[in-house]
Amino acid sequence: MRIEIENAVKTFERGERPALDGLSMTVADGELVALLGPSGSGKTTLLRAIAGLEGLESGAIRFDGEDVAGLDARDRNVGFVFQHYALFRTMTVEENVGFGLSVRPRATRPPKAEIAARARELLRLVHLEGYERRYPAQLSGGQRQRVALARALAIDPGVLLLDEPFGALDAQVRKELRRWLRELHDRTGHTTLFVTHDQEEALELADRVAVINAGKLEQIAPPAELYAHPATPFVCEFLGAVNRLDTPEGIVYVRAHEIDLTPPGTPHALAATLVAVRAAGPRVHVELELSSARRIEAELSAEAFAATGYAVGSALSARIRRKHTF
Amino acid sequence: MSLLSPRRAHAVAEAPAVRFLLLGLALAAVALFLLLPLGVVFAEAFARGWAAFAEGVADPDARAAIRLTLLVAAISVSVNLVFGVAAAWAVTKFDFPGKSVLVTLIDLPFSVSPVIAGLIYVLLFGAHGLIGPWLIAHGVEVIFAVPGIVLATMFVTLPFVARELIPTMEMLGRGDEEAARTLGASGWQIFFRVTLPNVKWAALYGVLLCNARAMGEFGAVSVVSGHLRGLTNTMPLHIEILYNEYNFVAAFAVASLLALMALVTLALKSGLEALGGK
């Protein structure tokens, strides 16, 4: 299902900054899109507005060209996975997954046995066979997450919306589930939007990443393009460690890993002194002080840094391989 | 924990005398102020044997009082349950102006003396009250009749269920209901299949507390009842009349029955807590 958002505006409190401030974007059928932004940027509000859990002040949301403003959340056929899963604690895993089918009006409700069979099939899909009779309280975070996903998929939704799907999980489970979600998406082909504030997660998982800031869309592009050609200073600064330099040609943004350490006096390079070294596993972060007393950060592999032979106090040059201007 | 516990145990073990003193005081207080009076009630009730006890309880006026108490408790508990669920639902699932005022008002019956509650109804529905004359002209008796007793009991028990439900529902948030809605559930389906099961223990707990209070209420009911024997006397009122007539055995017989009802309620409550805590 194709989703178009046009000039969406939503304000929660009168006189406050709007949570959505004229945001427009389109998600193609079958696409996996990440909504990336700092907390309070409006990305969750946008997700809730698509689901019908929040109304818009103005603007439109269209599913396959059809305005859904008049449709309540229950009629939008949207699969929503909540940040804290919101599993029904008084129901078993199987009842949770079958809930969406069991509340259908009598005319379209499948028989009980069919609902149970469908629930078991979905639990197999999310690798939770054997957990049908458990209660949510008896599951781990990652398992609950997958039950929530199976429950959302059970209603055969037109679009799948996930709010910070990996936010409450530890790093290991997070990585695993991330890969698994990508595979699941490739298999089922649901149009999917997920909210995240983790740039790595967004870049690794999504077909396209929508960077949202202060209720507005900054840029929507495939991960590689977003990284290579950021459209705004915000996008550039939000993705990775970036140095902001005041130069005669104006403000220039330079990524930490796009700075080379070269011998002092290198032409077209900035004279600098190495003031600090932080080793973070295979990568080394180097702090340099320029002649203007401004400090910048460079990032390179541990091997490359060892090969330079520099240490704290060394005089050197910082050669900028690539810069972004706006 | 394994590092901490030996040290903590040591810290506690340092003052066994203090521990025994506190424990002894607490137990003595419980025995003196709770168990002893309760025992005395039952002892007095059976002071002249089973026959006298049965006579006191089987007296037509006593039986009328028991029936009325059960009726009043049943009505006010059911109304209270509906009101409590509605109020808690409104307060926790929606934002509206005047919400904090409503929450404060729910607590009002706890802070107002029951006697005042009774007087309010006399002022409203009494023969010389605000709407009493009109009602009486239309054949509806409220004061010195069963409706007044029910109203007064409802007033004093109003907060019980709502007070239990509001914190529980606030803790649960709106996530479950929103999830149910996106899955296509209607308002009723959400309420009966998601919200109610989530709060059923809190609601039952509130109902039991409410029931205990409804059966035992004296002050408010005393003002509006008129003490008509066999008609408007609840168990507490009947006990008072018997006592004032020096009919101690009958008074304590009915009192022991009321105490027994309270004990059953308490036992149910503990059972629920054990179940709900699982």
**CA-closest candidate to residue B269, choices B202, B201, B205, B197:** B205
Summarize pLDDT for B145-159 with one digit per residue, the tens: 899 999 999 999 999
How does residue B10 score in pLDDT terms, banded at 50, 70 and 90?
A: low
Helix (H, G, I), strand (E, B) or coil at A241: coil
Give the nearest partner residue to A84 out of B175, B182, B198, using CB atoms.
B175
Interchain contact, B194 vs A155, CB within 8 Å: no
Given the structure tokens 């009730």, which residue do they identify?
Answer: B45
Interchain contact, B178 vs A73, CB within 8 Å: yes
How does residue A88 score in pLDDT terms, banded at 50, 70 and 90?
A: very high
How does residue A220 score in pLDDT terms, banded at 50, 70 and 90?
A: very high
Please state, in angstroms and as integers, the Cα–Cα distance from residue A53 to each residue in A59, B122, B182, following that order: 16, 48, 8
Interchain contact, A88 vs B179, CB within 8 Å: yes
Residue B4's pLDDT is 45
CB contact, 8 Å: B275 with chain A? no
Lowest mean pLDDT among A105-114, A292-301, B262-271: B262-271
The answer to whether residue B190 scores a pLDDT higher than 60 is yes
The partner residues of A272 in beta bridges, in order of sequence, read A290, A316
Which chain B residues are closer than 8 Å to A51 by Cβ? 182
Chain A contact residues (CB < 8 Å to B): 51-53, 72-80, 82, 84, 86-91, 99-100, 103-104, 151-152, 154-155
Which chain A residues are closer than 8 Å to B186 by Cβ? 74, 103
CB-based contacts of A222-227 (< 8 A; 24+ apart in sequence): A227/A203
Q: List all residues of chain B from 145 to 174 with a beta carbon under 8 Å from chain A.
A: none
Tokens of B90: 């409104």
Which chain B residues are closer than 8 Å to A91 by Cβ? 197
Tokens of B214: 């409804």
Residue B189's pLDDT is 95
**What percentage of chain B exceeds 90 in pLDDT?**
42
- Average pLDDT rounded to a whole number, residues B211-218: 91
Residue B278's pLDDT is 47
* Closest Cα in chain A to B198: A90
Q: Are strands A3-10 and A58-63 parallel, antiparallel or unpaired?
A: antiparallel
Contact A7, A36 (CB under 8 A): no
Residue B13's pLDDT is 57
Which of B168, B176, B182 should one mutate to test binding to chain A, selecting the residue with the greatest count of A CBs within 10 A? B182
Distance in angstroms (rounded) separating the CA atoms of residues A144 and A137: 9
Interchain contact, A82 vs B175, CB within 8 Å: yes
Which chain A residues are closer than 8 Å to B191 by Cβ? none
Give the nearest partner residue to A103 out of B175, B185, B197, using CB atoms.
B185
Interchain contact, B180 vs A99, CB within 8 Å: yes
- Average pLDDT rounded to a whole number, residues B75-85: 93
- Average pLDDT rounded to a whole number, residues B192-197: 93
The answer to whether residue B3 scores a pLDDT higher than 50 is no
Give the nearest partner residue to B183 out of A52, A89, A103, using CB atoms.
A103
Summarize pLDDT for A148-180 with one digit per residue, the tens: 999 999 999 999 999 998 887 888 888 888 888
Q: Can you give the residue ranges of every domain in chain B?
A: 14-45, 49-276
Summarize pLDDT for B25-69 with one digit per residue, the tens: 999 999 999 899 889 888 888 888 888 888 888 889 999 999 999
* Closest Cα in chain A to B184: A74
The answer to whether residue B276 scores a pLDDT higher than 80 is no
**What percentage of chain B exceeds 70 in pLDDT?**
94
Residue B69's pLDDT is 94
Q: For residue A18, give the H/E element and its range.
A: none
**CA-closest candidate to residue A194, choices A31, A27, A32, A2:** A32
Interchain contact, B183 vs A151, CB within 8 Å: yes
* Closest Cα in chain A to B174: A86
Q: For residue A243, give the H/E element and its range.
A: strand A242-247
Interchain contact, A74 vs B194, CB within 8 Å: no
- Please tell me the CATH code under which domain B49-276 is placed: 1.10.3720.10
- The pTM of this model reads 0.80
Return the number of CB contacts < 8 Å for A and B: 65
Distance in angstroms (rounded) separating the CA atoms of residues B194 and B172: 11
The answer to whether residue A10 scores a pLDDT higher than 90 is yes
Interchain contact, B184 vs A53, CB within 8 Å: no
**What percentage of chain A exceeds 70 in pLDDT?**
100
CB contact, 8 Å: B193 with chain A? yes
- Average pLDDT rounded to a whole number, residues B162-168: 92
Please state, in angstroms and as integers, the Cα–Cα distance from residue B11 to each residue in B5, B6, B15, B22, B25, following that order: 10, 9, 8, 16, 21
Contact B236, A129 (CB under 8 A): no
How does residue A51 score in pLDDT terms, banded at 50, 70 and 90?
A: very high
Interchain contact, A73 vs B181, CB within 8 Å: yes
The answer to whether residue A66 scores a pLDDT higher than 70 is yes
Q: Where are the beta strands (DSSP E) in B42-86?
A: none
Q: What's the CA angle centered on A29, arms A225 and A197, to 5 degrees? A: 50
- Average pLDDT rounded to a whole number, residues A15-33: 93
Interchain contact, A76 vs B182, CB within 8 Å: yes
Residue B194's pLDDT is 94
How does residue B5 score in pLDDT terms, banded at 50, 70 and 90?
A: very low
- The per-residue pLDDT of chain B, averaged, comes to 87
Distance from A151 to chain B by nearest Cα, in Å? 8
